[in-house]
């Protein structure tokens, strides 16, 4: 409900607009005055070497970190100080670089918890999640789409890293977000597993806006239209991916000398 009314009133605003965002940890400037505009339906990548400030930047957009200064807007609304869970209600979802699931619960329970997160019934103390048919159906549909349905009763911590990464994405997708923040979705995966995740992400609704942190250049190039390159907390290039690849500074800092 909330999501729809929101789109109606701010249909023309950029999906995500970041202005002068900065984060200081004591004397360390992790992110320094970063601007970013992501249009509706755009797929935007953020790349950069380790310690470039990508995840810090990402966590400020997701709401896990408070920026030192700067603003974050989602569909025209200032969400800079909005707590994480309120952002999710506005249509934002995220994955984690370091797998962050409910390890002692079954795969089904993991997805069910995600599927009821925006429902009022999450406060029900008498009924089970499974008895809410539409929540169960939502979870089942998502799990079938990712071929996870057959392992619904397995405990997540017993699964391979590859499967856990897929569940990571399933939890973010099950609420059908409008903006998906992906923090290194292929971290730690074998090339074959990584290709599977890329294929999965490419198949998603083209209307869905995506912001992707990637370490792997090939993965980034396959998934996104535009790239932003960060280095030591600053943006050193931002634009169409081919342009960024040709950029001299980027080649020196990130891609290395050929």
Q: How far is the CB of 122 from another protein (least distance, A)?
A: 5
Which residues contribute to the site for another protein (CB under 8 A)?
A: 62-64, 83-85, 88-89, 93-94, 96, 100-105, 109, 112-114, 116-118, 121-129, 132, 171-172, 175
Angle at 211 between CA 1 and CA 18, to 5 degrees: 80
Dihedral pair phi/psi, residue 30, rounded to 5°:
-80, -40
**What is d(CA 247, CA 88) in angstroms, rounded to the nearest whole number?**
35
Q: How far is the CB of 6 from another protein (least distance, A)?
A: 15
Is the Cβ of residue 121 or residue 147 nearer to another protein in the bound state? 121
Is the Cβ of residue 112 or residue 228 nearer to another protein in the bound state? 112
**What is d(CA 65, CA 84) in angstroms, rounded to the nearest whole number?**
9
Is the Cβ of residue 79 or residue 235 nearer to another protein in the bound state? 79
- Chain-centre distance of CA 205, in angstroms? 15
Q: How far is the CB of 243 from another protein (least distance, A)?
A: 33
Contacting residues for 204 by C-beta, under 8 A, at least 6 apart: 173, 180, 210
Is the Cβ of residue 9 or residue 100 nearer to another protein in the bound state? 100
Q: In this structure, are residues 231 and 64 in contact, taking their beta carbons and an 8 Å threshold?
A: no
Concatenate the DSSP letters of all residues of 206-235 into one string. Answer: TTSEEEEE-S-HHHHHHH-SEEEEEETTEE
Is the Cβ of residue 23 or residue 132 nearer to another protein in the bound state? 132
Q: How far is the CB of 133 from another protein (least distance, A)?
A: 13
Is the Cβ of residue 51 or residue 103 nearer to another protein in the bound state? 103
Q: What is the dihedral of CA 251, 199, 53, 114, to 10 degrees?
A: 180
Is the Cβ of residue 129 or residue 227 nearer to another protein in the bound state? 129
**What is d(CA 204, CA 33) in angstroms, rounded to the nearest whole number?**
32
Q: How far is the CB of 158 from another protein (least distance, A)?
A: 12
Q: In this structure, are residues 50 and 70 in contact, taking their beta carbons and an 8 Å threshold?
A: no
Q: Is 105 exposed, middle or buried (0-12, 13-18, 19+ CB in 10 A)?
A: middle
Q: How far is the CB of 59 from another protein (least distance, A)?
A: 10
Q: How far is the CB of 106 from another protein (least distance, A)?
A: 11
């Amino acid at each position: 409900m909330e999501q729809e009314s929101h789109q109606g009133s701010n249909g023309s605003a950029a999906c995500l607009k970041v202005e002068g965002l900065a984060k200081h940890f004591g004397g360390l400037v992790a992110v320094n005055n970063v601007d970013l505009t992501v249009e509706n339906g755009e797929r935007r990548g953020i790349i950069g070497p380790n310690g470039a400030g990508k995840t810090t930047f990402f966590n400020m957009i997701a709401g896990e970190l408070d920026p030192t200064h700067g603003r974050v807007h989602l569909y025209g609304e200032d969400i800079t100080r909005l707590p994480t869970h309120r952002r999710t209600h506005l249509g934002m979802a995220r994955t984690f670089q370091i797998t962050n699931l409910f390890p002692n619960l079954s795969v089904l329970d993991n997805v069910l918890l995600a599927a009821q997160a925006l429902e009022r019934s999450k406060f029900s103390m008498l009924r089970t999640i499974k008895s809410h048919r539409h929540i169960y159906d939502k979870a089942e549909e998502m799990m079938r789409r990712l071929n996870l349905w057959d392992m619904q009763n397995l405990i997540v911590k017993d699964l391979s890293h590859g499967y856990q990464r897929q569940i990571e994405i399933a939890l973010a997708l099950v609420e059908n977000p409008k903006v998906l923040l992906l923090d290194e979705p292929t971290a730690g995966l074998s090339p074959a597993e990584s290709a599977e995740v890329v294929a999965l992400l490419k198949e998603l609704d083209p209307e869905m806006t995506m912001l992707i942190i990637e370490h792997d250049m090939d993965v980034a190039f396959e998934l996104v239209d535009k790239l932003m390159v960060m280095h030591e907390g600053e943006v050193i290039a931002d634009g169409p991916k081919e342009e960024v690849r040709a950029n001299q500074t980027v080649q020196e800092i990130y891609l290395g000398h050929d």
